[in-house]
Amino acid sequence: MNSAEESASLLSSPSMTDIAQITWDAVIVGGGMVGASVALGLGQQGMSVLLLEKQPVDTDWNSEQAYQVRVSALTRASEFILRNLGAWKGIEARRCHPFTAMHVWDELTSGNIHFSAQEMGEPNLGYTVENSVIQAALWEQIETCDAIQVVLNRALNGVRLSQNNDRVQSFDEQKAWVDIEGIGEVRTELVVGADGAFSQVRQLACIGLDTHDYEQCAVVGCVKTELPTEDTCWQRYTADGPFAYLSMGKYISSIAWYLPMEKMQWALELPDDEFAKEVSKASDYRLGSVIDVGERAAFPLTRRHAEHYIKPNLALVGDAAHTIHPQAGQGVNLGLLDAAALVETVLAARSAKKPWGQRSVLRKYERWRRGDNAIVQRSMEAFDWLFKQDATLKVPFRKGFLPLANRLTPLKNWLMAQALNGREALPKLARK
């Protein structure tokens, strides 16, 4: 029996002992938006997947549910990944909102740039979706996929990897082992670390991290405004940092307000009416006054980049591999591209009858994604530097940059294509 048949015969009534007896094609730690996508991408192609998640995921949905604090602006590439995994219908059935324009302006120089879907010949520029909606829609698909076995709320006690497996020819030679509380050591061809920014898998695999503290936090939440959002994402560069309204509906926006760390507590503790006034001011009343505010939260911002995305029989994806300044809303979009690229790499190796945990196979995934993610991280830093209002020397350049980019059609189209689809070499799952 191969491992898929072996797991299929056990999955109908799995017990913790059964789980330890199977050699899994992949063990994925973390069932957030990115880990759940890898699980589906592999599971839907018949690979046996063990998915570990710390927290239960609620797939129930009630349309009266208040807007959640965490929202992502998804690119078209992410939309296609979620469509190809069968999760998009679950997103549409819950709640999502297309945005058709993006307007960015600078408080200091009044320069601005405007992107519209119409100019790009696209129906929209992307969708704003609550993270819990994306995760629920993915998990709804996981529930229907027989090849995926879920283990909830069990501690990860350890990960054991083979040393150098490039000469391994057969699937039986070297593997990785994942030690799970109450189950014991589970054998697998591939461990996927999709366990977020503080990834335990990354730490257990002794993979170093390059970090940079932005000394900023993002205050997020949903608000209702006096004027309609015009299905637009509005971003203003202010003295404190960028402020953004992401359209979630006719009068509803998700805000992302970037502030110096010393203002984080202040922003969280302001009474709702004062918070509404400060948000209206930060946006320069672009949507009139804020008339209602929901729950809010704040996140300190750090750039992180894992020194390696892979080791023999192990790969990192999503925030476990990289976190970036969210001002251009790219974090989960990059993570979903990682997921799609890893799935494609593994499936290609399986078709070629090669062990997909082999370092030389996984290197293809690393080469595909690491450089791309580094470029996006660095461009975010360049923006952060340019728009920090501390150096008057930058002002002439800033004065020119947005209006010039707005007039130069090729530059504008290039900027937009990056934002819509990510860079070149899109994985198959990310294509229409």
Q: Which of 72, 100, 280, 283 binds ligand FAD (CB under 6 A)?
A: 72
Residues 174, 189: Cα–Cα separation, whole Å? 8
Smallest separation, CB 55 to ligand FAD (Å): 5
By the rule CB under 6 A, 19 interacts with ligand FAD: no
Comparing CA positions, the residue from 369, 281, 332, 325 lying closest to residue 128 is: 332
Q: Which of 326, 355, 357, 422 binds ligand FAD (CB under 6 A)?
A: 326
By the rule CB under 6 A, 39 interacts with ligand FAD: no
Residues 135, 246: Cα–Cα separation, whole Å? 20
Q: Which of 130, 189, 195, 372 binds ligand FAD (CB under 6 A)?
A: 195
Choice between 29 and 315, CB closer to ligand FAD: 29
Stretch that binds ligand FAD, among 160-168, 277-285, 325-333, 404-412 (CB under 6 A): 325-333
SS3 (DSSP) at 350: helix
By the rule CB under 6 A, 204 interacts with ligand FAD: no
Taking CB under 6 A as the criterion, which residues in 284-313 touch ligand FAD?
A: 299
Choice between 78 and 165, CB closer to ligand FAD: 78
Contact, 215 vs 260, CB < 8 A? yes
Cβ neighbours, 10 Å, residue 63: 7
SS3 (DSSP) at 153: coil
Contact, 51 vs 154, CB < 8 A? no
Choice between 25 and 195, CB closer to ligand FAD: 195
Smallest separation, CB 159 to ligand FAD (Å): 10
Residues 256, 72: Cα–Cα separation, whole Å? 11
Smallest separation, CB 339 to ligand FAD (Å): 9
By the rule CB under 6 A, 31 interacts with ligand FAD: yes
Q: Which of 27, 120, 186, 220 binds ligand FAD (CB under 6 A)?
A: 220
Residues 55, 432: Cα–Cα separation, whole Å? 32
Size of residue set near ligand FAD by CB under 6 A: 31
Measured at the alpha carbon of residue 146, what is the angle toward residues 145 and 148, in degrees to the nearest 5? 75
Choice between 48 and 199, CB closer to ligand FAD: 199
> Chain-centre distance of CA 149, in angstroms?
23
By the rule CB under 6 A, 41 interacts with ligand FAD: no
Measured at the alpha carbon of residue 140, what is the angle toward residues 138 and 141, in degrees to the nearest 5? 70
- Give the alpha-carbon dihedral of 119, 425, 327, 390, to 10 degrees: -100
Contact, 309 vs 208, CB < 8 A? no
Comparing CA positions, the residue from 387, 406, 407 lying closest to residue 397 is: 387
Choice between 201 and 402, CB closer to ligand FAD: 201
Taking CB under 6 A as the criterion, which residues in 81-140 touch ligand FAD?
A: none
Q: Which of 43, 335, 355, 422 binds ligand FAD (CB under 6 A)?
A: 335
Please compute Rg for the chain using Cα positions.
Answer: 22
Comparing CA positions, the residue from 297, 300, 341, 299 lying closest to residue 318 is: 341
By the rule CB under 6 A, 144 interacts with ligand FAD: no
Stretch that binds ligand FAD, among 269-277, 323-331, 345-353, 423-431 (CB under 6 A): 323-331
Stretch that binds ligand FAD, among 23-31, 165-173, 185-193, 424-432 (CB under 6 A): 23-31
Q: Which of 54, 187, 363, 398 binds ligand FAD (CB under 6 A)?
A: 54
By the rule CB under 6 A, 232 interacts with ligand FAD: no
By the rule CB under 6 A, 34 interacts with ligand FAD: yes
Cβ neighbours, 10 Å, residue 21: 12
Stretch that binds ligand FAD, among 91-99, 165-173, 189-197, 224-232 (CB under 6 A): 189-197
Residue partners of 408: CB distance under 8 A and separation at least 6: none
Q: Which of 331, 355, 357, 427 binds ligand FAD (CB under 6 A)?
A: 331
Choice between 32 and 357, CB closer to ligand FAD: 32
SS3 (DSSP) at 79: helix
Comparing CA positions, the residue from 321, 347, 319, 316 lying closest to residue 427 is: 347
Task: Please list the residues that pair with 209 across neighbouring strands.
Answer: 306
Contact map string, positions 234 to 273, toward ligand FAD, x by CB under 6 A: ----------------------x-----------------
Residues 347, 343: Cα–Cα separation, whole Å? 6
By CB under 6 A, name the binding residues for ligand FAD: 29-35, 52-55, 72-73, 156, 194-196, 200, 218, 220, 256, 299, 318-319, 326, 329-333, 335
